[in-house]
Structure formats: C-alpha cells, structure tokens
C-alpha cells in the first residue's frame, strides 16, 4: 500500500480523462456546446420516449401463413428438380395440414424422389407408401427457422421504413415471440408512421387477360391461370382479370422516387435481372395491358406501348404528393414477409417527458446530497471528501459509458443511476470500516490502509458479482425499460468498483504523500 506503480497511476488517470472527455458534455447546455471546438465530443445522451415525449407502436407479426407460403415456394423448386432428373409424378399439392403430397408413376423412382427432396430440403421428413404416394412433412425446426427469419426481416424492414422518413433516433426492438415495439421520440402524430407500417408493400407486375374482363365473364368460370383482383382504394369498384404468373417482382427494385412535375407519380428502376425480365415481358406483349399490383390491389394498369429496355418505369394512379412519397418509401424499404397488426398505440406528450426529467434530476440530486452528507458525518472531512470525489467521478464515468454505448436514457435508467449512486459508496464503506478496525488495533497508518483494502476486497467482489448476475438476468429476460435499467445498473457497479478500489487508493496515497508521516488516520 506504500506506493502505486507508475503504470497503474497512468492507467487510473487515463480512464478518468477519457471518462471526462466523453461524459462532461452531457452536463453542458446546448448554448455552451455550440461554442466549444469541434474536436471535442458534443453528442449528448439520447432521451427515451418517456423523457422526450413521442409515440409508441406495438406491432404483431402474423406468422400463421409463413410455413405454408414457404412450402408453396418449394413446390416450384421440386417441379424443376423432378424435371431435371426426369422423375415421373402427378398430383403434386400442399394439403390443409401443410404436408406436400404427390404420387410416383413408378415405384422404381422411390429412392430418387427421396434423395432429391432430402438433398435440397434436409428439414423435411419424406415418407413413401406401397402405392407410390409420397408425403413430405416439415420438421418443427423448419417452421421455427422460417418464423424467426420472418420476424428478423420484419424488424429490418420496419427499421428501413422509419429511417426513410427521417425520424431521429427511433427504437425498434423485438418483444416476446412475435411482437415488435417501435418507439419514436419527438413524433407527436404517429398516423403517417402507422400507415407505412401497416402495409405489406408486396409489389408485382402481372399481365391482364388480352381480351376478357371480369364483366365479360360474369356468370362463367374464370379462365385457368387467371384470377380477379380488385382495384386500389380510389377504384375499389373496378376489378381486373389478372394472370397469376408474376412476371417481375418488387424484390428486384433498386430504387424508387417521386416525380412531382404535374401529376404526382412514382418512378422506379430494376436491377440487372429485373431489367432483363422487364424488357422481355414488354417486348413480347406490346399492346397488352400490364397490371401493377400492390398488396393484392391493382394500383395502375397501363398498356404496353413499346419495349422498355432500361428497366425504368413510372407508376401513375391519381396519387397525391404525400401518397406518392409514402409509396416510394415502401418500395425502397422492401416488402414485409408477413402482415403486421397494430396492437397498441400511445403518445407521450413533451410536458410529461419534461416533468419526468425534472423528477429524475431531483431524485438524483437528493441521492447525491444524502450520500455526500453521510460520508462527511461518518468518516470525517478527509476520507469523506475522497469518497465524494470518487462518487462524482463515478457519476461522470457512468454518463461517459452510456454515451460510448450509444444508450438511450429512459426514466428507469434514471432510477438505475440514482440506485447506482447510492450503492457506489458501498465499497468505500467496506474499506473504511476495515481500516477503522485496523486503526483500533494500533496498526500504523500505511499498514492499516493496506490491510483494510486487502481484507475488504473479497467482500466487495462477492457483493458486486451477485448484483451483476441480477442485472444480467434482468437484461436477458427483460425488454425495453427493464433492459435500460439493467444496463445502467451493471455499468454503474463496474465503474464503482474502479473508483472505490483504484481511484480512492490513489487519492489517499497522494494525500499521505503531501501531508507526510501520520501518527493516526482521521477516519
């Protein structure tokens, strides 16, 4: 305890310097931040919805058709594979229980059919009976993987749509098994966001029947390979006879924008594959109507007048400027893999957020003042001052750590800070009490300090590790505000161990060095 090595002193001071470099700006007003040099960090902690005010939307991903839609895509892959291997079959279909069924023309092809399916789709169980009937049942792992992928893709697409709107610092998190919580600080009216998130935005380009319409076939059966699709909201009374085959899909789009000259319209462009397909379709169907379908509604049905070789086009449909912009946002972000249902929507006013900040500030200041007074009263001016300096450094380092992590400060986070400050001096108290015991045994000051730190170390580590385990469990099984509280608590505990053990030791040794040899310690 008589001295600290130079590298330890440098490390402690270096950590404190970095903490003040990245943490102090959180305590400065914006008017001061604007005047400081640009090389000094100026970004402050982001405030959460409960502090800043804004909107919160809870979405649920509809997973009931995910497995079935995935299996339907497998049917086309199986047909191509069977055709390549010249395997004879008939009656390939997907039944109501999501089991692929077909019959082999020859029992000799049993092993070939099994090897084709198992080779391409290892998560599907294949069974063949004595009559040549084949059933392919997906394993639970297949369904689980598809559902998890759908949720992950939905979160990413929701994030893209929110980012395209220019919303500042949104929070988008998975909640539970199939829910997504979207928090938008500073957004008072979530109606536009709600409209964007509620649309699947699946875009397809499909041909119309060259001669027939729903009106001309009324009372008769629909031609094979066609279906009747309604018009968009403005033309819901109109329906179209559309070929089921998707000529070009929206997943091949590379960009979409708005042309506001004259009537608002949406421009789009395809990638190389999409452009080639678009050119082939327009070349082969000049003079034929071409439906542009968004979420199973025809938004435009222009006639192909000429070949479009560059993969660029325009969607017109009596759009307002806002509707055209929203459609371009949806197309750029991509289609959702599953529909989203809005379960809950709430708005927090900025007045409530301001009140929460004031209440949090007051609670934090009271906790700091109470701890300061306690340390002065119980451990005297010198050791109380050292403990309080460590507490202040702990406070600044905590904000620096949250800033470096890119965390968002919420009301539970403020509660975690207040709790952390109360717990921060716990290690100091353990050390000081051990030192007091050694002083009562008439041990010399330096020896008493060394014994106090060494004997308190095990207790400090044990108590903080148990709290860290609790914080880790809160983070693992909690969500949203609970996780924010857990992060703040865990970070505060780690920092408090540094300030109580390393920084306080450095300060005490520096004080002893300045004052010279002491007969006893004022503790």
Instruction: Please state the domain extents for the chain.
Output: 4-50+348-513, 61-141, 200-334
Residue 150, pLDDT > 80, answer: yes
The tokens for 279 are: 């050119």
Q: How far apart are CA 479 and CA 487, in angstroms?
A: 11
- pLDDT band (50, 70, 90) for residue 1: very low
Minimum mean pLDDT range among 228-232, 238-242, 326-330, 376-380? 326-330
Minimum mean pLDDT range among 121-125, 219-223, 329-333, 424-428? 329-333
Cβ neighbours for 139, distance < 8 A, ≥ 6 positions apart: 123, 124, 125
Q: How far apart are CA 24 and CA 422, in angstroms?
A: 21
Q: How far apart are CA 275 and CA 309, in angstroms?
A: 7
SS3 assignment, position 428:
helix
- The whole-chain average pLDDT of the chain stands at 83
Question: What pLDDT is recorded for position 240?
Answer: 92
**CATH match of 61-141 with 3.30.70:** yes
Residue 244, pLDDT > 70, answer: yes
Question: What pLDDT is recorded for position 207?
Answer: 92
SS3 assignment, position 353:
helix
Task: Specify the DSSP element, H or E, that contains 357.
Answer: helix 350-405
Determine the average pLDDT of the residues in 374-390. 88
Higher pLDDT, 519 or 456: 456
Determine the average pLDDT of the residues in 140-156. 86
Higher pLDDT, 166 or 72: 72
Residue 241, pLDDT > 90, answer: yes
Tens-place pLDDT, residues 461-488:
888 898 899 989 988 887 667 887 888 8
Strand partners, 220: none
Beta strand 408-409 pairing with 46-47: parallel
Domain 200-334: which CATH class?
alpha beta
Q: CB-based burial of residue 160 (10 Å sphere; 0-12 exposed, 13-18 middle, 19+ buried)?
A: middle
Nearest alpha-carbon partner for 45 in 523, 366, 413, 448: 413
Give the distance from CA 194 to its chain's centroid. 18
Q: How far apart are CA 106 and CA 143, in angstroms?
A: 31
Please report, in angstroms and rounded to a whole number, the separation of the first and last CA atoms in the chain.
17
The sign of the dihedral angle between the CA atoms of 405, 408, 413, 417 is positive
Minimum mean pLDDT range among 22-36, 96-110, 425-439? 22-36
**Helical residues (DSSP H) of 318-349, grouped into ranges:** 321-333
How many Cα atoms occupy the beta-carbon half-sphere of 463 within 13 Å? 16
Question: What pLDDT is recorded for position 519?
Answer: 62
The tokens for 469 are: 């385990």
Q: In what order do the strands lie in the sheet with 297-300?
A: 248-249, 203-207, 290-294, 297-300
Tens-place pLDDT, residues 335-361:
777 888 888 888 776 655 567 667 777
pTM of the model: 0.60
Give the distance from CA 388 to its chain's centroid. 38
Residue 208, pLDDT > 90, answer: yes
Phi-psi region of 123 (alpha: psi -120 to 50; beta: other; left: phi over 0): alpha
Higher pLDDT, 392 or 321: 392
Backbone phi and psi for residue 315, each to the nearest 5 degrees, phi listed first: -110, 120
Count of other CB atoms within 10 angstroms of residue 235? 17
CB 23 within 8 A of CB 116: no
CATH superfamily of the 4-50+348-513 domain: Multidrug efflux transporter AcrB transmembrane domain (1.20.1640.10)
Determine the average pLDDT of the residues in 427-445. 85
**Helical residues (DSSP H) of 255-305, grouped into ranges:** 272-284
Determine the average pLDDT of the residues in 360-383. 84
Alpha-carbon distances of 96 from 7, 92, 133, 137, 412, rounded to whole Å: 71, 13, 17, 12, 47
């Amino acid at each position: 305890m008589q001295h600290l090595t130079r590298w330890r002193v440098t490390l402690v001071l270096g950590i404190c310097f970095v903490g003040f470099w990245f943490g102090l700006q959180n305590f400065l007003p914006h008017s001061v931040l604007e005047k400081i040099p640009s090389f000094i960090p100026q970004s402050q902690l982001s405030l959460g919805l409960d502090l800043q005010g804004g909107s919160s939307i809870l979405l649920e991903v509809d997973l009931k058709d995910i497995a079935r839609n995935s299996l339907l895509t497998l049917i086309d892959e199986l047909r191509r594979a069977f055709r390549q291997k010249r395997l004879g079959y008939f009656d390939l279909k997907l039944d109501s229980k999501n089991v692929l069924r077909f019959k082999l023309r020859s029992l000799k092809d049993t092993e070939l059919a099994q090897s084709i399916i198992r080779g391409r789709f290892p998560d599907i169980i294949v069974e063949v009976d004595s009559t040549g009937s084949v059933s392919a049942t997906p394993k639970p792992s297949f369904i689980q993987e598809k559902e998890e992928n759908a949720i992950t893709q939905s979160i990413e697409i929701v994030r893209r749509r929110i980012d395209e709107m220019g919303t500042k610092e949104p929070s988008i998190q998975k909640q539970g098994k199939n829910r997504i919580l979207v928090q938008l600080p500073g957004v008072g009216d979530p109606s536009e966001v709600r409209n964007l998130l509620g649309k699947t935005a699946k875009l397809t380009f499909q041909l119309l029947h060259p001669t027939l319409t729903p009106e001309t076939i009324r009372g008769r059966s629909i031609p094979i390979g066609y279906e009747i699709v309604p018009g968009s909201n403005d033309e819901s009374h109109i329906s179209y006879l559309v070929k089921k085959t998707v000529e070009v899909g929206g997943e091949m789009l590379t960009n979409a924008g708005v042309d506001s000259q004259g009537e608002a319209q949406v421009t789009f462009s395809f990638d190389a594959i999409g452009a080639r397909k678009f050119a082939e379709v327009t070349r082969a169907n000049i003079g034929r109507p071409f439906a542009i379908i968004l979420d199973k509604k025809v938004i435009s049905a222009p006639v192909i007048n000429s070949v479009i070789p560059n993969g660029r086009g325009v969607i017109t449909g009596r759009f307002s400027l806002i509707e055209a912009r929203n459609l371009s946002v949806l197309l750029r972000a991509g289609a959702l893999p599953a529909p989203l249902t809005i379960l809950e929507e709430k708005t927090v006013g900025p007045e409530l957020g301001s009140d929460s900040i004031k209440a949090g500030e007051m609670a934090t200041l009271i906790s700091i003042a109470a701890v300061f007074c306690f340390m002065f009263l119980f451990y005297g001016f010198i050791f109380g001052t050292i403990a309080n300096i460590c507490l202040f450094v702990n406070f600044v380092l905590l904000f620096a750590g949250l800033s470096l992590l890119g965390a968002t400060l919420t009301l539970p986070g403020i509660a975690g800070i207040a709790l952390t400050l109360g717990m921060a001096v716990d290690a100091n108290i353990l050390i000081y009490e051990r030192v007091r015991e050694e002083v009562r045994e008439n041990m010399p000051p330096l020896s008493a300090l060394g014994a106090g730190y060494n004997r308190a170390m095990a207790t400090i580590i044990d108590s903080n590790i148990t709290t860290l385990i609790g914080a880790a469990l809160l983070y693992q099984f909690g969500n949203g505000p609970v996780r924010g509280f857990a992060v703040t608590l865990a970070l505060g505990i780690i920092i408090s161990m540094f300030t109580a053990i390393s920084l306080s030791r450095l300060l005490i040794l520096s004080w002893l060095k300045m004052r010279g040899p002491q007969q006893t310690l004022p503790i």
